[in-house]
Structures are given as structure tokens and as C-alpha cells.
Chain A
């Protein structure tokens, strides 16, 4: 009701809020998530992670495009992720090996969200992390429906 009193999120926070995973978060929650993200810059062609590598982090694409493909076969892409998208999200749940390779298609800025940081958020910020978990479950549900159909 008094939503107009809440501070408006800055550009980076607005980008985060645009992600389905963080769409339910308040400005305060977004600031907390922003605090645990690690910003990285990759050049076109640089490998972000390899297939079979232990997955520790989810990556959010801030700018640029990322190619997801089988190891060493960029000519047959599985997916292309643009600004505002994310990939490698199962690393939030466990450290299972990555099932595909991720490469920067063009110079890009990514933000890494580590599974260990998410686990500590689960301890310290129960409401915040339950909102992320809920969105995560919805995201997985959509993926599952897409696979079945």
C-alpha cells in the first residue's frame, strides 16, 4: 500500500529484478543478493566452464551473449543466452558436473552466484531465499513441462 515510500532500485538492481529468479525480491533483498554476486568479464571465445566440470555457481548475463554447446562443438549450439538470462542454475542445488560447455559469444559481463553463498543465505535470510527457491522451483517446473511436451 505504501509502496511509493520504498526506494526505487538502481540500474543493476533493476537488471536483477528483471530475472525471473529474483522477480519477487524487494530492494533490500536485491541489495543482499547483489552483495554476494561476483562480477566477471569474458572476451569473445573465452570458455566460462567446460562440460564435466564441477558446477559451483549460477551465471547471470549482464551484457553480451553466451553460447551453450556440447564440449568443443560450438557449431551445434544448444542455446544462446543474452543479457538478462542465466545459466548453470543447478549449481545452486549441488556440485554435479556441468552437462554442457559455456562460451562467450561476444565480450560479456557476467555475475556469478555461488551455491555456497545461496546456502548461507538460506541460513541468514530465510524469506529472501524461500522466494528465490519458489521461483527456482517454478523455473524447473517450466523446463520439465517443456521436456515432457
Chain B
């Protein structure tokens, strides 16, 4: 009954893709980035739904273990999430609405605080280097900053608010998609499997499983990275004595989901708060910058390889190069999407190259086709 398995080696040998397959993987990743950049309104909610389905799967699993059907468990966890989200949104809107004027004044105050820090730093630099003084750097930068901060709300905040409103309907698709991912994920898996010929069946199903695992470990890694970043930065800011240290750290860690651009935005945020809340002590802002750089280094060389990089099994050089390519091909969304896309393309590329170059599988498939043709024509001769 079981003679098909036996005293074989414990681990099967898996050779990686060759140079041609790697070229295909990089090309496919870039093409996917270009294509997805044009349907971001669909890609972002789909990604959100994927992350949400990974996050909601453990409670759903518990409910299924308690005896609920898959459909019932999916409906229950999604409904509870939606109710919690709506309650949180309403509470946030009520809280933010009551402080709308404070928020506007706060934004302007923090921008002025940042501008003052820059002015002061440039003045110190001009006093030390006459070349800078002759270039009148401080005056020109101050003039530009004043112009910028005077029109900041109209130029940046209003478009941001409009784009948030425009994105809201698309984002609402997230929980909707997540429900169907949770409920019908397995059915979809079976649907794909039925379309695959017998010869390629096992390998294709294994490929689908690996893709699922890659996606799940990437987003799980990203969540762990966010927690580690928040703890490291929050601890540093708390030691420095910055107000709202943990909230700032959390916002900076979430912004860091978008590589480079997000990190710079997070750093700017922390520096603005430090410069504004400690106007008489510019050293606080410099300490905040140094702390931020230290956490970034820690993140790039310790946390990232141990969480996201480990999950995708990517060489650090490839990760960095692909980040540049992602940014060049699709801008900020490209930076955020390039690594998960590369991970998926790697798994698909490796498996497809293994399947397509396998002459035995092809021969088996052709033989099966011939058998089916003979069967179909059996009574025609």
C-alpha cells in the first residue's frame, strides 16, 4: 500500500532558478509594477484585504475549532472587525473634530519650529564657514521656507484631504475582499487545481502553497518589524524626554512601510516635534536625528534581515537594488510593492522554470493527451 514511499532521503533536493529564470523574474517584477501602478485603486484594497485576512485568520481558526463553519467564522470575524473599525473611526472623527482648530494651529506651529531649527543651524554654519555666509544660504533658505509654510495648508494638506476622501470608497473594498479571501480561499485553490493537467498537478499545487506561505510570512515579518521599530524608537525618544514618544515611534514605524520616503517622513516628523517642543534646546533635535539614524541602521542590518528579509530569503544587495528599481519604475507605490512582488515572482519563476524544463513531466503530459485522444476516438475507427 505504501511502497511508493520508503527508504528515500529525508529532504528532497531543490535547485534554485538559473540566470535566465532570474532575468525573467526581474523582468516580470518590473512589468507587474508598471501594470499594478495603473490599477492602484484595486491593488491597494486587495493588498489591504490580504493583510487583513492574515490578521483575521487566527481568530477565525479558533472559531472553526470551536465548531463554527468556515463561512460562519469568516462572517463573524469580518463583522466584528467592521464594527470595531466603525466605532474607532467615529470616535476618532469626534475627537479630531473637536480639536480641528488646534490641529491646524499645531501643524503650523510644528512647521515654524522646524524652520526655526533650520535657520539656527544654518546661522551657526555661516558663522563657521565664510563660503556659506557669502552665498547668503540662511537668508535664501529662510525666504523659501516662509513662502512654503505660508502656503503649506493650501498646497499640501488640502490635496491630502481630498485624496483621502477619493480613496475612501476603494479602501472600503478591503474588508469586503478580506471576507471572501477568508471564506473562499480554499475553494479558489481547488478551482485553480482543477484546471491543471495531471502531470503538473502536484508541482503546481506545491507552488500555490509556497506563494501563500511567502505572502503570509512577508506580511507577518512586516508586522514584527513595525513592533520592533516602534519599541526601539519609542524607547529612545522616551529616554530623550520627547512628549508622545510611543505614538511618534508608532507613526514613524508605520511610515517606514514605504522604504526610504517613509523613513525620511518619519524622521522629519520626529525632528519637527523635537525642534518645536524644545525651542531653546536645539541639541534635542540633533539627538533625535542621531537616534533615528541609529534605529534605521539597526532596522536595516538587524531587524529587516531577521523579519521581512528572512521571510523572502532575499540577498540584501538584491533587496536594495530592487527598491531602487521599484522607485524608478512606479514611484512611491513601487517602493512599497517591489519586495512582496519580487517574492511572489521568485516563487513562481523558480517553480515554473522547474516545471517547464522538466522533460519527463512534459512527456507524461503529452502521453496523457494521446491517451485521451485515443479514448475519444475509440469507436470512430
Contact = CB atoms under 8 A, between A and B. Distances in A.
Mutual binders A and B: yes
A46 B1 contact: no
Interface string B136-168: 000000000000000000000000000000000
Contact of B367 (A47, A78, A91, A139): A47
Interface in B1-16: 1-12, 14
Interface stretch (B40-48, B169-177, B202-210, B318-326): B202-210
A123 interface: yes
Given A38-B193, A125-B65, A126-B65, A99 B4 contact: yes
B344 to A, nearest CB: 17
A56 B288 CA distance: 52
Contact of A87 (B4, B198, B205, B367): B4
B368 interface: yes
Nearest to A37: B190
Interface in B173-207: 186, 190, 193-194, 198-199, 201-203, 205-206
B4 A94 contact: no
Contacts of A48: 198
B202 A46 contact: no
A40 interface: yes
B130 interface: no
A48 B197 CA distance: 11
A86 B5 CA distance: 12
Nearest to B368: A46
A106 B190 CA distance: 25
- Sorted nearest first, the 7 A-B pairs with minimum C-beta distance are A90-B5, A99-B6, A116-B209, A78-B3, A54-B12, A43-B371, A96-B8
Interface of B: 1-12, 14, 61, 64-65, 67, 186, 190, 193-194, 198-199, 201-203, 205-206, 209, 360, 364, 367-368, 371-372, 375
Given A40-B198, A81-B1, A96-B11, 14 more contacts: A38-B201, A53-B202, A55-B4, A87-B4, A91-B5, A95-B12, A96-B8, A96-B9, A96-B10, A96-B12, A97-B8, A101-B4, A116-B205, A116-B209
